[in-house]
Structure 1
């Protein structure tokens, strides 16, 4: 009969950590409740950093709908099986009439949210929050901003400056006719209010076709001919050549996304007969597009391919998609060349999905160290 002398808790710390690194997020939260020493190991920020660099298998955070926000964690096992778990992060109350909660983005284990409330007939009050979806803690950034929604449209973009680990938010205000009116930036932990950008960003497109990658926001212009950029570190804009298209821009939908550790462009012809994925890489100091992935005749007939966005390439080459207009995931099997739709939620509203890299310690720890400056905690 085993005794305490030979229990698992007597294993070397390095070996225990190696075991923890191959467990799922759900299993690790169970381990945290076993004993104080395991809790201290897992809640150490160094453990989170090492775990996210060596995720055993992808976990997707899926947010469903706007007015009735629901969150799910979906784990994709090496066998191809999916398990899903509803989660209830501490988020701002959005039960009021004409109050909407939307996801700005997910970064470094934190979920950034936008709460919009009707102020009067033509204006909305917008407030940015961020929280740890699993470990609690929710903070708001600055005061409410009143936005004239009668003639304007606002878009929020989240980015991380790799050299300083600073979070920054880009807020772009468009006129009703899609002309850019102004742009602001907010550095979390440093700024108390939004700063007006010194350089205009007029080439940026109004609609959400862009994405942030390695500290830079990439977005097509209105015509889809070239890609404009915003560097969160220098707070300056630029542009790079767009990918060579197999069809004229008027015949294809284009969307930017991050797949694995690369920036990619998804092209879907408007007749919805195939999906082409182009990967952006740097070769000898210049940008180039390569590795075309063609998916054709592999989707269920009832699935609208125009809303598919790649989320991750699995280790065996299978590809995981989310559907922009449906609360579902789509799994592409490289061997069978077929796709399977995994419905997560019954509602059919615009959803947000991202590969989930957990943070096993609370935001309050970083706040206490002064990383985020002076913040007001929600709730």
Structure 2
């Protein structure tokens, strides 16, 4: 009687089985035999695994990146259901000021930088914690300009250019003029980093339309930042103005654009800034509205607007407006619709509090873990950054070498 082993299965079946395994098990499997090594390191398989992980990312977890790595030199993957630690990732590099913040995450690859304003968005780090691969991007087309921290304000985004099968990083350098004004007489400079070519290049006549807040989100081939048309005093982080737009950058056409926000959205970015995020496969804008009294209790409306764009026409729909018991800053939303906020109510450990609320069931959870106050600035504005849609992918992995590929 003949028997069939795993190696006798069709290659397509074997690939389908492997694609469902956790990344750590996949990497271990490469040492079993040459056939498995060849299959798992095949660019086509890696592309398939990345596609699967994007659609099946953790829907109940939160990746927390600490602000001060000299105090905590690891990132934590936390369950939003139980507050328990799922996994701990040691940070394999050290920034100049030993502080860290995440700029964005694309397909499981984190783009991080120094939290300190002197080095922020100047030195960039790519890191996939699951495959333990990282990369420092220290060069620039504008090195001398970036070294003059008093003259520049830098904004960075990362995304995937599907038609060219390339990941790109865009860096906008705003330069102060003789009157100490940003985005006035001196046009911003822009450079693009291609991960396939491993080079920076200048973008000619970029036509940057606005000065933007330095936090954004990647969605569907473009990167988006909130803009503030400031009056009088120029403030790079944005506080008050008369109108607001969303500035976009298309990673394929390499063109900037502007989108209007909903008419009912207030223009100020105060202590709790508006938050761009991805919700239900749409670009979303989360806005904290004025407090609401409900049966003697104060509730805080978190308005979540979803954007639609058809034939170049942008429209917004108010999809959710949960009245939350807690006031705080929106950090993100998980795939299953759990809104993560950072409450400004502190505890005896001098931490802010993380609140999760499913915006459909309105089930709250106050988590035992918190986000530590930055001991350098004694401020809650420079806190840990989080990722609520962190997938487990093989990006940056190929036989122990860096790989940055994705299928067309």
After TM superposition, the score normalised by the length of structure 2 is 0.69
Question: What residue number does 1:84 align with?
Answer: 86
Q: Deviations over 1:82-117 (max 9, x none)?
A: 5521111432x33x6x45443232223322233589
Structure 2 CA distance, aligned partners of 1:323 and 1:308?
6
Greater mean deviation of Cα atoms: 226-235 or 333-342: 333-342
* Other-structure match for 2:113: 114
Structure 2: runs of 5 or more not aligned: 229-240, 292-298, 345-350, 375-382
State the number of aligned residues.
351
Distance in 2 of aligned mates of 1:12 and 1:173: 52
Alignment match, 1:195: 202
Residue 132 of structure 1 deviates from its aligned partner by: 2.3
Q: Distance in 2 between matches of 1:200 and 1:6?
A: 62
Pick the aligned partner of 2:222 from 216, 224, 242.
216
Distance 1:273 1:178, change over 3 A: farther
* 1:141 aligned onto 2:147: no
- Name the SS of the counterpart of 1:279 in structure 2: strand
**SS of 2:391 mapped into structure 1:** coil
Deviation, structure 1 residue 286? 2.3
Match of 1:332 in 2: 357
Q: What are the superposed Cα offsets for residues 191-221 of structure 1, whole Å, 9 maximum, x if unpaired?
A: 634415413314132x235322222222333
SS in 2 for 1:273: strand
Confirm or deny that 1:48 pairs with 2:49. yes
| Cα drift, residue 256 of structure 1 | 1.5
- Pairs within 5 Å for 1:64-75: 64-68=66-70, 69-75=73-79
Q: Secondary structure at the match of 1:208?
A: strand
2:236 aligns with none
Determine the C-alpha separation between the residues in 2 that align with 1:361 and 1:212. Answer: 17
How far the C-alpha of 1:263 sits from its partner, in A, is 0.4
Q: Structure 1 residues 31, 250: closer, same or farther in 2, change over 3 A? A: closer
Displacement of 1:67 in angstroms is: 4.2
Q: 2:390 maps to what in 1?
A: 356
**Within 2, Cα distance between the matches of 1:5 and 1:40?**
24
Cα deviation code 1:266-294 (max 9, x no counterpart): 11136572110000113465221114201
Change (3 A) 1:83 1:228: same
Please say if 1:179 is aligned against 2:186. no
Tell me how far 1:250 sits from its aligned partner.
7.8
In the alignment, what sits opposite 2:372? 347
Secondary structure at the aligned position of 2:163 is classed as: coil
Q: Which moved more, 1:326-335 or 1:152-161?
A: 326-335
CA distance in 2, matches of 1:191, 1:42: 24
Cα separation, 1, equivalents of 2:183 and 2:321: 35
Please say if 1:126 is aligned against 2:122.
yes
1:265 CA drift (Å): 0.6
CA RMSD in angstroms comes to 4.1
Q: Which residue of 2 aligns with 1:296?
A: 323
CA contact (8 A) 1:117 1:126 kept: no
Once the two structures are superposed, residues 296-334 of structure 1 have per-residue CA deviations (whole angstroms, 9 ceiling, x without a partner) of 0443xxxx42x11333231xxx32425398786532235
Determine if the alignment matches structure 1 residue 158 to structure 2 residue 158. yes
- Summarize deviations over 1:138-158 as a string: whole Å, max 9, x none: 323353734212243222222
Instruction: Give the structure 1 partner of residue 348 of structure 2.
Output: none
Could you tell me the TM-score, scaled by structure 1's length? 0.74
Distance of aligned partners of 1:213 and 1:148 in 2 relative to their CA distance in 1, 3 Å threshold: same
In structure 2, what is the equivalent of residue 377 of structure 1? Answer: none
